Amino acid sequence: MANKKGKKNKAYSKAPKQAQNTSQTEQSGQSEQSEQSEQSEQSAVQSKPQEQKDVHWKSYGLDQIAQALVLDALEADKDSLNQSHKMRMATAYGLERFWGEHLRLRNSKKDADKAKSDYWKAAWDELVKVMGKAGVTIPNQPVSAHDVTAIKTMSAELWKLDADVQRVSLSVLTQLCDCLVWWTQRYKGVK
């Protein structure tokens, strides 16, 4: 460092060298310790029998389920394929709203909406099956679009699911809908 008159300050020029020498000595001591520590850890690992973890990946086949749903919808009514995008958007609103959408469409006077309702219901039924394989029971009682009491009961059953069950179920539903959208994009141009 230079002072106001341009002369170098000797205290500053010596300090970094001293700190550097001290730093090098500390580093060599630390590296010896870390090498000894690593060697003792390695010998401890070698002396212990290695434990085998029983971890298996279980695929629930969401992609295959989605492909089958899209192909079924394509056969029933090509226009119902657009529902895949709406299904994906509906996952943000919760299980009960996703479940209830098939009732809204079922209650419509348009025949095309009946096919859309079937598509929504089929997706819901597949979610229930997948979650059942994972050991989680999702309510799925048959409900008429005109039976208000049954609708209230079913909605209440969905709302009272444990928060973790709801989160996991919504995650699986979201992934299923992502797969539906992907397969919809692949088959939409098919006549």
Is 14's pLDDT higher than 60? Answer: no
Q: In terms of domains, do 26 and 111 share one?
A: no
Number of domains in the chain: 2
Q: CB under 8 Å to 139, separation ≥6 — which residues?
A: 154, 157, 158, 161
Q: CB under 8 Å to 126, separation ≥6 — which residues?
A: 65, 69, 176
**pLDDT for residue 47:** 47
Kindly state whether residue 1 falls inside one of the protein's structural domains: no
Q: In terms of domains, do 112 and 80 share one?
A: yes
Tell me the mean pLDDT in the region 70-93: 93
Q: In terms of domains, do 39 and 75 share one?
A: no
Kindly state whether residue 159 falls inside one of the protein's structural domains: yes
Kindly state whether residue 2 falls inside one of the protein's structural domains: no
Range of the domain at 161: 62-187
Kindly state whether residue 72 falls inside one of the protein's structural domains: yes
Q: In terms of domains, do 104 and 20 share one?
A: no
Q: pTM of this prediction? A: 0.69
Kindly state whether residue 78 falls inside one of the protein's structural domains: yes
**To the nearest whole percent, how much of the chain has pLDDT over 70?**
69
pLDDT tens sequence across 19-37: 455 445 455 555 555 555 5
Nearest CA-CA partner of 113 in 123, 124, 102: 102
Tell me the mean pLDDT in the region 156-183: 96
Q: In terms of domains, do 25 and 112 share one?
A: no
Tell me the mean pLDDT in the region 175-188: 94
**pLDDT for residue 1:** 52
Q: In terms of domains, do 25 and 67 share one?
A: no
